[in-house]
Structure 1
Amino acid sequence: MKHKTEGKRLTRKLTALRQDAWRLMHAPMAAQHRWFAAVLRGHYGYYGRPHNYQRSTDPIGKCTGNGYGV
């Protein structure tokens, strides 16, 4: 049986990521990197399920595509 992350949950998380990244926009790059690394570690720990690869990699593409300093 394959698992898929619920769309509403993913959208909520990505919206929160964008807001937090905007807040950190003028922070030093090292602080931004530490924050994003911690967020992604937590994300993969929670959503990282077998056969859920596409959904679990969505935040990387969303964050890097918006120029948030990753």
Structure 2
Amino acid sequence: MDAELKLLEEKIDQLVRLYQDARQENSRLCQLLENAEAANHQLAKRMGTAAGRLQALLNNLPEN
């Protein structure tokens, strides 16, 4: 009986460690996703600005 309880305790400890590790990894991944989304937003904004400037240049080209 003691051996069974010891084994159960070890499995519970392992489960708790795995759960904590998964939560930490999830938190890290959420932060990475947030950073990537912010960078993506910034790049999209810069691309929009560049596209606007390019269109303005094209509009100012003389038509031959």
- Under a length normalisation based on structure 1, what TM-score does the superposition of the two structures give? 0.30
Name the structure with the higher helix share.
Answer: 2
Greater relative contact order: 1 or 2 (C-alpha under 8 angstroms, separation 6 or more)? Answer: 1
- Under a length normalisation based on structure 2, what TM-score does the superposition of the two structures give? 0.33
